[in-house]
Amino acid sequence: MSSGTSWVVGINAVASAIENDAAHVREVLVEAGARNPRVAALEREAQDLGIAVRRVSAQALDGISGGARHQGAAARYEAARTWDERELPELVEAAAGRALVLVLDGVQDPHNLGACLRSAAAAGVTAVVIPKDRSAPVNATVRKTASGAADRIPVVRVTNLARTLRTLKDAGVWVYGLAGEGDASLYGLDLKGNVALVMGGEGEGLRRLTREHCDGLVRIPMPGEMESLNVSVAAGVALFEAVRQRAA
């Protein structure tokens, strides 16, 4: 498991971090002598919330931003704790035959990711798996939407999602992908044992390789006229069907 800090740069990004997740903002840097009233407002707001503020040179902010446009403001932000993919089999084993894993194949909207994490925490999942390259980062917006879930459940960021699905299978986990064209109904599955539920990202859904590494594709029956659900809603429906079965 690892954690650390990262830099958020730019007026809007710093304002979002302060407004949405002040508890994880460690300090705010503002450009000394900046004439932008929004920078001054950020400084006052951070101070009112008890966040340390330092006035630094434009050159110091240039170095922190790595060439990105900082607009005279940056914030040091505590990154959410993440788990190493090598720890996933241990998490499954510790669940003693009742592992429930949520796999998100490229959810890139931070509000959707945050909502998925919140549902996962409420359902008592074993872990949430997200790819490193095709996922929204666990940033201030995600953490606000997740209402603290990002720090309460194992979030495992993986380099190769297909390989991780194979690892889950080797650990005795049944892997089911949620897709509108799935042959079986979600409600017909036995979700009481070791199960991973795989949700596709916005628009594209499950990628081809992800589909190929699932034990089966299942659908959520929808008698209405809509063809699909928002990924966070679908994740909540699927997870709580597992919760319902396990409580029976």
| Mean pLDDT within 24-34 | 94
DSSP label of 83: B
pLDDT at 170: 96
> Does 229 count as an annotated binding residue?
yes
How far is it, in rounded angstroms, from Cα 166 to Cα 95?
18
pLDDT at 102: 98
Query: 145 pLDDT band (50/70/90 cuts)?
Result: confident
| Mean pLDDT within 58-62 | 95
| Mean pLDDT within 121-125 | 97
Reply yes or no on whether the pLDDT at 28 is more than 80.
Answer: yes
Reply yes or no on whether the pLDDT at 7 is more than 90.
Answer: no
| Mean pLDDT within 160-176 | 97
pLDDT at 3: 62
Reply yes or no on whether the pLDDT at 2 is more than 80.
Answer: no
> Does 220 count as an annotated binding residue?
yes
Alpha-carbon distance values, 37 to 11, 30, 41, 152 (Å): 11, 12, 6, 38
Reply yes or no on whether the pLDDT at 19 is more than 90.
Answer: no
> Does 200 count as an annotated binding residue?
yes
Domain ranges of the chain: 2-80, 83-247
In the three-class reduction of DSSP (H, G, I as helix; E, B as strand; rest coil), residue 236 is classed as helix
How far is it, in rounded angstroms, from Cα 238 to Cα 104?
13
Distance linking the first and last C-alpha atoms of the chain: 34
pLDDT at 127: 98
Q: Could you tell me which of 80, 86, 120 has the C-alpha nearest to residue 100?
A: 120
- Which two tokens mark 242? 């597992």
Reply yes or no on whether the pLDDT at 226 is more than 70.
Answer: no
pLDDT at 224: 76
Alpha-carbon distance values, 201 to 105, 128, 178, 210, 242 (Å): 6, 14, 11, 11, 21
pLDDT at 78: 83
Query: 202 pLDDT band (50/70/90 cuts)?
Result: confident
Give domain 83-247's CATH architecture: 3-Layer(aba) Sandwich (3.40)
| Topology annotation, domain 2-80 | 60s Ribosomal Protein L30; Chain: A; (3.30.1330)
Output the average pLDDT for the chain. Answer: 92
pLDDT at 113: 95
